[in-house]
Amino acid sequence: MDLLKKRIQSDGLVLNDSLLKVDSFLNQQIDPVLMMKMGEEFARRFQGEPITKILTIEASGIAVSVMAGLVLKVPVVFARKKKSVTITEDIYYTKVYSFTKQESNDIIVSKQFVQEDDKVLIIDDFLANGEAAAGLANIVHQANATVIGIGIVIEKSFQPGARKLTQAGYRVESLARIGSFSNGQVNFL
Ligand code: 5GP
């Protein structure tokens, strides 16, 4: 998606050989116009799929997911991150290792919000090792619901997440795919 790539080129900050900072439009300040266009693009790519729900993870997946949900006219559920959870009957939970924070979190979703007949589109802001997306897919499977696909805003294709998820049989649609960082520059695929 050219608009997103241009924005990454102009406003993104390459922090090291694997980390990109996009706080000015995605991770802290949010550009609603860009979010809407990305929501429309996810809706276009998954057109014709019987999606009943979008599942994302707090916090940075929420804005773009809400826009996609608005276009697709489906509810948006976000998984919450917790240091550790008391396991109760009414939640799905799984462990996710955070690439940016280098720590494990439990992520939880209330059982009432993902049901067996749901056809779920998973959306997240970044794809690195695939932990967050796989964790969300795990929750969908716990509910005996169906994963329709995984929509990612920025895929770092030089990290193993996209390959792992594709090999596991998921359809992954990424709006920008980064092949490498070199000398502070972002090289797209
Ligand atoms: P994964 O679970 O695929 O290893 O990493 C994806 C998660 O880590 C995303 O939810 C995102 O919050 C965070 N993340 C991974 N790589 C980056 C990055 O380069 N920049 C930012 N801002 N977040 C990232």
Enumerate domains of the chain plus CATH numbers. 2-188 (3.40.50.2020)
Is the preceding peptide bond at 145 cis, omega within 30 degrees of 0?
no
The pLDDT value recorded for residue 86 is: 76
Q: Is the CB of 155 under 6 A from ligand 1?
A: no
Residue 131 to residue 148: CA distance in whole angstroms: 18
The pLDDT value recorded for residue 147 is: 98
The pLDDT value recorded for residue 99 is: 87
Q: Is the CB of 166 under 6 A from ligand 1?
A: no
Measured in angstroms, how far is the CA atom of residue 124 from the centroid of ligand 1?
9
Residue 35 to residue 38: CA distance in whole angstroms: 5
Distance set, CA 14 to CA 18, 33, 49, 122 (Å): 8, 23, 35, 26
Residue of 182, 178, 180 whose CA lies nearest to 1: 178
| pLDDT, mean of each 10-residue run, the chain (189 residues) | 98 96 98 98 98 97 98 98 80 93 93 98 98 98 98 98 98 98 95
Q: Is the CB of 130 under 6 A from ligand 1?
A: yes
Contact, 145 vs 115, CB < 8 A?
yes
The pLDDT value recorded for residue 89 is: 82
